[in-house]
Structure 1
Amino acid sequence: MTDVLLFIPRYKWNDSKKADSCYPPIGVAILASNLEKNSYSVSIRDANVEPISEKEFIGLIKKEKPSLFGLSISDANIPDVKRWCLLVKKISAHTKIVIGCRDKLFLKNNFLSFADYFVIGEAEETIVELSDCIIKRTCSLKSINGLAYFEKNVLVMNSLRKKVSNLNKLPFPAYHLLSMNLYKPYAINHLGKRFTAIISSRGCAFKCSFCSIAVANSHTWRPLSAANTIALVEYLHAKHGITHIHFQDDEFLIDSKRAAKICTLMRSKFDKEIVWECRGRAANMSETLASLLASANCIAITFGIELGYQEGLDKIKKQTTIKQIEKAVEVSRENHLQTKAGFMLGFPWETKEDVQKTIDFAKKLPLDFAGFTILIPFEGTEMYALLKKERLIVSSGDTFSKKNGFEFSVNTKFLSYRELVKLKLRAQKQFYLRPTYFLSLFFRSHNLLMLKRCLKTYFYSIKAIIWTSSKLFRTQ
């Protein structure tokens, strides 16, 4: 019998096959670790790497007999979460269901009557106190900050819980509860090494108008110390044989001194044993930092560039200039870092000419990979409010997940959603189908490892073009 069973539904609707790539659920693993620290028995089942049928799921619940069944919810998986929760209620009357939600607004806008409790925001302390209440019966529901629940069919929301101010006080994620050998990065990042991801900081201090991460974290950035970050890497290397790490921090470069210290420690402790990659803002990259990253065996950096024209960058409050972007990509390439970037299209004011400016800018940069996505208007952001005011959000909720995969349907003042999908396809074709791009992959490859990554990048990109083409066909 297990005290708490934490379940991760599949990201895609077809749960009969394993995902092509999947990163470990670090947030869930931290919850599990904190529960174990407080003497609760915990198990994790991730359906993304261990697909599960309804029959197998029923068997799992009957075997584990959890007192608490927990999973998180988002716009993308409401129907899927409901499906699993109703199954639990049907076969295990004593099991209470708790759902993790990003904020109160999401909970207010979605009547989730198929669950018993809701944890709002960061859940490390809330899940322990809820377990104390349900399993040990040592406290009352009303005393638990960050919790919501139904009382006589009325949703009661307690006071919000303050965010964890010092991440160094949290235990390391419970990687031992995960099937570590089953997780693998996206094809373009796959090196055949034993892989995992870590999160060494939370949040972002900047105020980009479209970003939900900064809003959810009140525009604050909270890091693990460099020493604790390296201690986690040492643990993963020693206990799980990890030799490829992806830092999933939203902004790894924000504190250049901390980033430099991590690089120094990575180099001194692991030399070339571990390869790693990270994400950062172009405005925070420097020639010195790029050199330090490369010397510490960092092999790739991803920049969120978003737009290719200064007026647009200013409108979304990016606090980055075109020159800073060009310099960041240049110094990254000079230090042999595989350089990737994300671009967005579909902002309210955008015309075809604006989108083409972004495409042309992406082509101008010496990038190894460019991802083009249609704007997702996250609730609570300035951009969401603007799109809603202008009535440019076409679909959300169930429609979001069933019809459009991982994209909301949005229009701009001048372009329909279908036109945006066409422009996304144009961006992918113009960037990846250039003979000069294909040839550059070979010329930029300074060793077999980089050549392998570059070729995977190219074939992954062709696959993305095919996917977008099929999506365009489906929206007819």
Structure 2
Amino acid sequence: MTKTLFLNPPSFDGFDGGAGSRYQAVREIRSFWYPTWLAQPAALVPNSRLLDCPPHDIDREACLAIAKEYDHVIIHTSTPSLRNDCKVAEAIKAQRPQTVIGFVGAHAAVLPSETLKASPAIDWVGRKEFDYTCKEVAEGRPLAEIKGLSYRNADGKIIHNPERELITNMDELPWVVDVYKRDLQVEKYSIGYLKEPYISLYTGRGCPAQCIFCLWPQTIGGHKYRVRSPENVAAEMAHAKKLFPQVQEYFFDDDTFTANLPRAREIAKKLKPLGITWSCNSRANLNYETIKLMKDCGLRLFLVGYESGSQEILNRVKKGVTLEEMRAFTKACKEIGVVIHGTFILGLPIETKETIEQTIRFAMELDVFSIQVSLAAPYPGTELYEMARLNGWFAKKDKTDIVHQDGLQQSTLEYPGLSKEEIYEAVDRFYRAYYLRPRPILRIIKTMLEDKDVCVRRLREGYEFFRTMRQRRKDLQAACAAPAAAA
């Protein structure tokens, strides 16, 4: 077994490469999800180490010093961070040429040849689910014999080995919380709407929904929801409770934890005796009874993708939920006392000035506790990417250029009658229209008055939020000035 480092490298300041399906970028406030996609294979490789640089403020120099001690480095990359990650790989090779370097992640899974061609420092690329691919490379097996792997042979030719089957028995995978305990500082991870410190992990992979923009189901996880048993999930939570007595909340980061409702209800029942606070991703279509049961078993918050206030857009992106269902779900959550963090996307096909206003009004009508507004990100491998390519919606020649030089999202799509600058500007307007109202302000103040630590946190987040909004306006001004300068 080679000495293996699983690496999430330093990138843009505050860049969250482990973020979900729509937002691999620097966010409005400093936020980091757990590198679960790396922690899972790390748990399969004895004596490995998981190094998550961004949340731990590990710069390139410190990262290289650590990487120098390892024979095998596996880097998790993403579409917006690929160029940077290649530079890190090249620096690792420069200081220790015999180091074997592999790249994994959705971008590498969809574009294995292009990823290998991005840098001569990359020895192999893992496709689809790469847990056992990483394990077998670490075991020293010849690259030619490993399924789900692409590599260069001795002649420099790129070889794509046969696909690896998706994991069907998810209970066979080791728990990730032991890797978290060994290699990560949980206090370094923060998400604005979750209690701190928090821990996130997966109880299953894949999602039966067909949303055209969602990254993981279309690139790695698939559309079949493959799950761990309720007994397995509850056992890991009991173990995590002992490992992390300081953790205030657990988040189940499955694309749609409630996709299998009988299982979700069974997990909830098994969590109740543990007395833990937990949250999860959910579609906005659960009934009152299910929400109430989960609340009674420790559920605090749903992360819900509302996406748009236009039913036409929701239909076009195959959301599978109606505006009326969303309204009923939101009303039920409020009555029961379950908090909602709602996410919205601007720039989905085919956005107009009118649909943007519809979405802003819809969000204000729902009036959930907090929101996130992101820009449509057409990642390679998604149906949204193919639609944009076929219809000529990309605003730039480089279709993978989806963040600014500071790591903030940029608008990469535009439509007849709606420019990318107008879509980009609408994010700032959306946030201001939503949050600069009496009810959201009073909600935030109430949480600050109830807890001194929360007060300090909200003040920090407020400063970061308005600082980011200022930077967004600067990015917009620069984008508008560039065509004029070229002319």
TM-score (normalised: structure 1): 0.88
Cα distance in 1 between the residues matched to 2:367 and 2:381 = 35
Q: Secondary structure at the match of 1:410?
A: coil
| 1:319-347 per-position Cα deviation (integer Å, ceiling 9, x unaligned) | 11111100111111111111111111112
Change in Cα spacing, 1:453 to 1:255, as seen in structure 2 (3 Å) is farther
Mapped pair 1:169 → 2:172: yes
Mapped pair 1:48 → 2:48: no
Mapped pair 1:323 → 2:363: no
Mapped pair 1:141 → 2:143: yes
Deviation of residue 278 (structure 1)? 1.1
Deviation of residue 441 (structure 1)? 5.4
Change in Cα spacing, 1:432 to 1:451, as seen in structure 2 (3 Å) is farther
* Counterpart pick for 1:448 among 426, 447, 450: 450
Cα distance in 2 between the residues matched to 1:336 and 1:249 = 22
Mapped pair 1:128 → 2:138: no
Q: 2:76–2:105: 8 Å Cα contact kept in structure 1? A: yes
Cα distance in 2 between the residues matched to 1:379 and 1:169 = 30
Change in Cα spacing, 1:52 to 1:348, as seen in structure 2 (3 Å) is same
Q: Secondary structure at the match of 1:208?
A: coil
* Counterpart pick for 1:428 among 426, 431, 434: 431
Mapped pair 1:374 → 2:384: no
Q: 1:180–1:196: 8 Å Cα contact kept in structure 2? A: no
Deviation of residue 448 (structure 1)? 3.3
Cα distance in 2 between the residues matched to 1:461 and 1:363 = 19
- Structure 1 window deviating more from structure 2 (50-59 vs 240-249): it is 50-59
TM-score (normalised: structure 2): 0.86
Q: 1:7–1:71: 8 Å Cα contact kept in structure 2? A: yes
Alignment of 1:403-414 (within 5 A): 403=405, 405-407=408-410, 409-414=412-417
In the alignment, structure 1 segments of 5+ residues that lack a partner are 134-138
1:250 corresponds to: 255
Deviation of residue 253 (structure 1)? 0.9
Instruction: Specify the code of the residue in structure 1 equivalent to 2:41.
Output: L
Cα distance in 1 between the residues matched to 2:86 and 2:104 = 13
1:207 corresponds to: 210
Cα distance in 1 between the residues matched to 2:64 and 2:433 = 49
Alignment of 1:207-286 (within 5 A): 207-216=210-219, 217-241=221-245, 242-270=247-275, 274-283=276-285, 285-286=286-287
- Structure 1 window deviating more from structure 2 (4-13 vs 201-210): it is 4-13
Query: How many residue pairs are counted as aligned between the two chains?
Result: 456
Deviation of residue 46 (structure 1)? 1.3
Instruction: Specify the code of the residue in structure 2 equivalent to 1:420.
Output: I
| 1:211-252 per-position Cα deviation (integer Å, ceiling 9, x unaligned) | 222222331111111111111111111122233212111101
Cα distance in 2 between the residues matched to 1:237 and 1:76 = 35
| 1:162-191 per-position Cα deviation (integer Å, ceiling 9, x unaligned) | 111111111111223322334322233244
Cα distance in 2 between the residues matched to 1:13 and 1:80 = 12
Mapped pair 1:35 → 2:39: no
Mapped pair 1:76 → 2:83: no
Q: Secondary structure at the match of 1:97?
A: strand
Cα distance in 2 between the residues matched to 1:306 and 1:361 = 10
Instruction: Specify the code of the residue in structure 2 equivalent to 1:33.
Output: A
In the alignment, structure 2 segments of 5+ residues that lack a partner are 16-28, 481-487
Q: Secondary structure at the match of 1:156?
A: strand
Instruction: Specify the code of the residue in structure 2 equivalent to 1:351.
Output: T
Cα distance in 1 between the residues matched to 2:357 and 2:252 = 32
Mapped pair 1:355 → 2:362: no
Cα distance in 1 between the residues matched to 2:452 and 2:311 = 32
Deviation of residue 464 (structure 1)? 5.5
RMSD: 2.8
* Counterpart pick for 1:21 among 31, 34, 47: 31
Instruction: Specify the code of the residue in structure 2 equivalent to 1:312.
Output: I
Q: 2:110–2:127: 8 Å Cα contact kept in structure 1? A: no
Change in Cα spacing, 1:450 to 1:353, as seen in structure 2 (3 Å) is farther
Deviation of residue 462 (structure 1)? 4.9
2:293 corresponds to: 292
2:337 corresponds to: 336
1:136 corresponds to: none
| 1:402-444 per-position Cα deviation (integer Å, ceiling 9, x unaligned) | 436234521122211111111122211111112243245568x
Q: 2:257–2:280: 8 Å Cα contact kept in structure 1? A: yes
Q: 2:42–2:48: 8 Å Cα contact kept in structure 1? A: yes
| 1:95-128 per-position Cα deviation (integer Å, ceiling 9, x unaligned) | 1111114255422334232211111121111112
Q: 1:343–1:373: 8 Å Cα contact kept in structure 2? A: yes
Instruction: Specify the code of the residue in structure 2 equivalent to 1:146.
Output: G
Cα distance in 1 between the residues matched to 2:206 and 2:14 = 32
1:57 corresponds to: 63
Q: Secondary structure at the match of 1:282?
A: coil
Q: Secondary structure at the match of 2:402?
A: helix
Cα distance in 2 between the residues matched to 1:228 and 1:179 = 23
| 1:252-274 per-position Cα deviation (integer Å, ceiling 9, x unaligned) | 1111111111211211222xxx2
